[in-house]
Structure 1
């Protein structure tokens, strides 16, 4: 029999955000995120710098999360942490701290798959108390992953489609770099696209079998298109930035939903969710609502704070693993390429 209150500390360190959160019986008490501005001048995340910054941030972040939750360390039921996938150096910092903290407090240790955490963020307690019903399909879209996941239970998930090369978020960021837009480029492309015509320029949609995606060809097509146009007009990008961003973004979102609609029909699922950093994209969110009405889906869109990497999603995943008594040994090691197992 479990104690009355289940209080989980979640630790997330898969990339460049150090985060700690406390969840009590499925409700958030705190969710602290420390960002790393050091990567901006390099136009992308530098793994070595990321791991060093995690070492500096993790103790203050965990301390702040516990203080903001107004609990004592001894109140914790378990420590949940991101085991992978992610940058190995970053994962080592979070894993090592979680193991040490759990050992020192004599509390259970819970390993979490980062991508499952994104999906389970939809079960964080909210005012509506409306959550996805199993089975549902979650389209997880981030800088490192683009997946269609059939979710049959909290930890019974199957990847039914994924990118065979670049992730959608990576396609956004690489396009931004080509256009001279500062890092992180995805949110800025979304911002510029609001003032543009999404049908001004045509970009190809890759024809990939099943429910899989490919975005490397789109990125290359954009590069060649801009090189050609700039031979005639050196200021082509600057003069057409909004339209280029809108057209490029429109192509990515159209590609994503083409496979999502097919997967939902083939699997006879009408509960559809999105997750991951790119789920903060305004067009992706509005298209889910628009297409959802046409397809008669019940749709689930995460709050902005749960789109990007955060520890609340790790803590809620830890909550359900705690209820199932799925604990990890203290000799567990991070796995940079951890997969969602069928």
Structure 2
């Protein structure tokens, strides 16, 4: 079931964070304590891959919404692009990890070697590859950890195909899918404010003014 309302999120939940800088799967048992990082990208983030492929297809920045728009006129089964870290040999070490650099390279090679490639077909096939991997691993994490909720967030969560495929696969497995409204998926300020409101409600004291800024700090080591 897909829910976009503002109701409270029951915990535990598996959270899939997909943006230009992050692609992470987390097991969240409490919003105050650190989540458990189940997996993350080992190279490009999903949003970064969308931007790079958009440049290959001569589409404007940011790439995500433009690929989403063009892909609606394409055939997602036209080109079988690779699904990173989904082969049996990958699953022991990288069960919940992601990789999009090989996909980006495959798209570049296809565009360079194909005479008059169909941009809608390339966009749709690329989008399908990303959506397939993201949703398959996220749902697997829910099933294998006995969690009946999946939270999808970040700018790439605005992608129509990712939302649709996540809803389809969650429904098949009895998982409740929670996705923010489109206008909030790309609103970093709203995301920070929402978490801040939860922390205030739980009585968490604010950080000191000398709290360091570190954009590379792993998500599972952030303490409030």
1:327 corresponds to which of 179, 200, 206: 206
Match of 2:22 in 1: 145
In the alignment, structure 1 residue 131 sits paired with structure 2 residue 8: yes
Query: Which residue number corresponds to residue 175 of structure 2?
Result: 297
Matched position secondary structure for 1:337: coil
Rg larger in structure: 1
Aligned to 1:30: none
Unmatched 5+ residue regions in structure 1?
A: 1-121
The CA distance in 1 between the partners of 2:6 and 2:133, in whole Å, is 32
Distance 1:129 1:170 in 2: 28
Q: Give 1:261 deviation, angstroms.
A: 2.1
Counterpart of 1:160 in 2: which secondary structure?
Answer: strand
TM-score, normalised to structure 2's length? 0.88
Between the aligned partners of 2:59 and 2:83, the Cα distance in structure 1 is 23
Alignment of 1:155-194 (within 5 A): 155-156=32-33, 157-194=35-72
Aligned residues: CA RMSD: 1.7
Segments ≥4 residues shifted beyond 6 Å: none
What are the Cα deviations for residues 222-242 of structure 1, in whole angstroms up to 9, with x where unaligned?
A: 11111111xxx2xx14xx111
SS at match of 1:201: coil
What is the count of residue pairs matched by the alignment?
210
Among 213, 220, 223, the alignment partner of 1:341 is 220
- Residues 132-160 of structure 1: CA distance to partner in whole angstroms, max 9, x if unpaired? 21000111100111011111011231111
Mapping for residues 206-221 of structure 1, pairs under 5 Å? 206-207=84-85, 208=90, 209-221=94-106
Structure 1 258/329 Cα, relative in aligned 2: closer, same or farther at 3 Å? same
Q: Distance in 2 between matches of 1:320 and 1:258?
A: 29
Can you list the C-alpha shifts for 1:51-72, whole angstroms capped at 9, x where unaligned? xxxxxxxxxxxxxxxxxxxxxx
Normalization by structure 1: what TM-score? Answer: 0.59
Q: Distance in 2 between matches of 1:320 and 1:130?
A: 13
**Structure 2 vs 1, CA of residues 129 and 225 (structure 1 numbering), >3 Å: closer, same or farther?**
closer
Report the secondary structure of 1:263's partner residue.
helix
8 Å Cα contact 2:27-2:36 kept in structure 1: yes
